[in-house]
Amino acid sequence: MAGAPRAPILLILFLCIIWTSTVMLMVTATSAESSSSVEENCTMMMKYKDPKQPINIRMKDLMSRMTLAEKIAQMTQIDRASATPEVMRNYSLGSLLSGGGSLPMTNANVEDWVKMVNEFQKGSLSSRLGIPMLYGIDAVHGHNNVYKATIFPHNVGLGVTRDPDLVKRIGAATALEVRATGIPYVFAPCIAVCRDPRWGRCYESYSEDHKIVQQMTEIISGLQGELPTNSTNGVPYVAGKNKVAACAKHFVGDGGTTEGINENNTVIDWHGLLNIHMPAYYNSIIKGVSTIMVSYSSLNGVKMHANYDLVTRFLKDTLKFRGFVISDWAGIDKITTPVKANYTYSVQAGISAGIDMVMVPFNHTEFIDILTGLVNDNVIPMSRIDDAVRRILRVKFTMGLFENPLADLSMVDQVGSQAHRDLAREAVRKSLVLLKNGNNTDSPLLPLPRNPNRILVAGTHANNLGYQCGGWTISWQGLSGNNHTSGTTILNAISTAVDPSTEIIYSENPEADFVKSAKLSYAIVVVGEFPYAETAGDNLNLTIPEPGLSTISNVCESVKCVVILISGRPLVIEPYLSSMDALVAAWLPGSEGQGVADALFGDYGFTGKLARTWFRTVDQLPMNVGDSHYDPLFPFGFGLTTQPVLGSS
Ligand code: GLC
């Protein structure tokens, strides 16, 4: 339970109540002004509730009122599945989250989300000091947990665009959809610099080149709002109710783990770290990013969740980051091997390293009890607790959470709006990379004729919204099928693009004989990786999963074909390239498949340039632009272009 209030505060409150009652009794016809002045006087007694007070004054006033229990509770984040409004009231926990796929219910609509978040928040507001909780969610390519939200291309495709303004607009659209559901905080952007495509999270990385990742931090300005010019460097900033607090992750070097093994060890010297994995954090802090999430990985054998030198001495003391540092999901548990072998040590190491908020994410009492014991035993100084709580409160006050803790349904129409879907469609177009267009002797195949007699659309990924969205969509690992959310599959987009007179034959995996006999003008083959997230995506051989390779072979050996590859990274393609007439890397385009058809049929030209090196064989990995030994199939920056067909769009 929250600690008993200290006597002076009780006395002040008691006097406040006596005073209010006395005034009310003395003035029989109390005018509006006198009662409001009493109210104001009471608020003046609690400066932290007064929005006219400077934030530092509000923080100081509130912290002076908080018990140790309330301070440690603010450092505690649990998943919504473990929370109740009563827990929020009794403990005054600082934050809740939806982990990947943690929904109010299947196909929850916007109203369901708002209702859920508000119920938890009302619990927090009824706590002794009424500190609002901060609800966070992984909106990493749109509001991807939410049914019928706009699903934007994953970062691996956005990096190809090299368009900071585009990602800023995507950030702004995402913020509107997230706020529509009552949520003010997102665990995005991932600013990992993926240096090995065997890493299961490589699609969450914008590029192997830190300069592109730095450009893409512009999404923070979209999510949080543009930092006012007179802002102090490193101070968090969120521009009100249409914007959300962002989270640059995962600090630091997550994309450099050995052989791309997720949550493993990044071996790199200080120069390499500062040149490759750190620069995007400079940009994020300059843009006022509110929070930074620590990586599961280790740096030269030291767990990042226990890395005082980098989290406190460098990020906080040197870079002057003034927001709060949050752990990853059960991240402190993984400080030890085996996981949670010594939780007391994990809590001590994580908090001492400089973590301010712990994504526990289930057993809040265990975490709170252990941390309380460490403070009472003087193992962790009160100054560390106060630093953490000050940072958390700074974000909450800055973003106006005390003034606007509850959501309404005024933004319902933002979720999956046509304007956002059009923006996503633009992003899909710009994310495509044309790797081959016709064999040397032939004229280019793309843009495709719109009015052929008969075409074949084939492949497991041609008519599967779940596959084209990839991981972190509706569920943590992603899904298969077209009924988990709404959008346009690539097949639907093609059907809309071609002339009504054209006959379209669709088959996931047609037999070669059928293709030979079908008298086709051309074929479009859409194949690739099946959805995955995090460690489930770690892959040492990077081949196109079956039946994709069979489909390519069955189709492309007997008809002109363009292959569209849906993947979170470059895959082994060289052995099959000669059989294809054209090849497009579409990455994980999201819900708006029309963007693929727009380029295929010439409404728009192909413009994308690789933001990742396309290797020949996995034996070459890791291989990145600038390496001394560099022999790719398609180099970083490669991409063929086509011109829009005049009068077609
Ligand atoms: C996950 C991821 C992190 C995410 C967090 C909350 O394990 O590592 O990127 O923000 O948990 O879902």
Q: Kindly report, residue by residue over 572-591, the tens digit of the pLDDT.
A: 999 999 999 999 999 999 99
Does ligand 1 have an atom closer than 6 angstroms to the CB of 100?
A: yes
pLDDT tens digit string along 336-376?
999 999 999 999 999 999 999 999 999 999 999 999 999 99
Which amino acid is residue 538, in one-letter code?
D
Atom of ligand 1 nearest to the CA of 136: 6
Residue 636 φ then ψ, to 5°: -50, 130
Check pLDDT > 60 for residue 266: yes
Q: Residue 456 corresponds to which tokens in the numbers above? A: 């074949």
Q: For domain 425-620, give the CATH superfamily.
A: Glycoside hydrolase family 3 C-terminal domain (3.40.50.1700)
**CA dihedral defined by 621, 626, 628, 629, rounded to 10 degrees?**
40
Percentage helix, strand, coil, to 5, in the chain?
A: 40, 15, 45
Q: How far is the CA of 221 from the centre of ligand 1 (A)?
A: 21
- Decide: helix, strand or coil at residue 263: coil
Q: Residue 422 corresponds to which tokens in the numbers above? A: 């059009």
Atom of ligand 1 nearest to the CA of 204: 9
Distance of CA 301 to the CA centre of its chain: 27
Indicate the angle between helix axes 343-353 and 364-376, nearest 10 degrees.
Answer: 70
pLDDT tens digit string along 120-173?
999 999 999 999 999 999 999 999 999 999 999 999 999 999 999 999 999 999
Tell the burial category of 646 from Cβ atoms under 10 Å away from its Cβ (0-12, 13-18, 19+): exposed
Residue 501 φ then ψ, to 5°: -80, -15
Close Cβ partners of 628 (under 8 Å, ≥ 6 residues apart): none
For 292, what's the count of Cα atoms within 13 Å in the CB-facing half-sphere? 38
Active site residue 328: yes
Tell me, yes or no, if the two domains 46-413 and 425-620 fold the same way.
Answer: no
Angstrom CA distances, 477 to 177, 471, 473, 606, stand at 21, 5, 7, 30
d(CA 578, CA 640): 17
Q: Give me the mean pLDDT over the 560-568 stretch.
A: 98
For 195, what's the count of Cα atoms within 13 Å in the CB-facing half-sphere? 20
pLDDT tens digit string along 74-93?
999 999 999 999 999 999 99
d(CA 587, CA 445): 21
Which amino acid is residue 267, in one-letter code?
V
Check pLDDT > 70 for residue 545: yes
- How many other C-beta atoms can be found within 10 angstroms of the C-beta atom of residue 11? 11
Close Cβ partners of 240 (under 8 Å, ≥ 6 residues apart): 225, 399, 400
The CATH class of 46-413 is alpha beta
From the candidates 254, 534, 581, 603, which is the catalytic residue?
534
Flag the least confident range among 210-224, 231-245, 311-325.
Answer: 231-245
Does ligand 1 have an atom closer than 6 angstroms to the CB of 570?
A: no
For 568, what's the count of Cα atoms within 13 Å in the CB-facing half-sphere? 30
Helices (H), 486-541: 490-497, 512-517
- Decide: helix, strand or coil at residue 159: helix
Q: How far is the CA of 361 from the centre of ligand 1 (A)?
A: 11
Model pLDDT, residue 643: 93
The residue whose CA has the least distance to atom 11 of ligand 1 is: 329
Model pLDDT, residue 38: 56
| Ramachandran quadrant class, 589 (left: phi over 0; alpha: psi -120 to 50; beta: rest) | alpha
Does ligand 1 have an atom closer than 6 angstroms to the CB of 101?
A: no
What is the full DSSP assignment across 390-455?
Answer: HHHHHHHHHTTTTT--S--STTGGGTT-HHHHHHHHHHHHHH-EEEEES-TTSPP-PSPPS--SEE
Q: How far is the CA of 329 from the centre of ligand 1 (A)?
A: 6
Angstrom CA distances, 32 to 21, 49, 75, stand at 15, 21, 40
- Residue 167's closest CA among 121, 212, 118? 212
- Residue 414's closest CA among 620, 204, 149? 149
Model pLDDT, residue 229: 85
The residue whose CA has the least distance to atom 5 of ligand 1 is: 329
Model pLDDT, residue 443: 84
Mean pLDDT of the chain: 94
Determine the number of helices (DSSP H) and then strands (DSSP E) in the chain: 23, 17
- Residue 291's closest CA among 318, 326, 316, 319? 326
Helices (H), 147-294: 155-161, 164-180, 210-216, 218-224, 270-272, 279-286
Check pLDDT > 90 for residue 198: yes
The residue whose CA has the least distance to atom 8 of ligand 1 is: 328
| Domains of the chain, residue spans | 46-413, 425-620
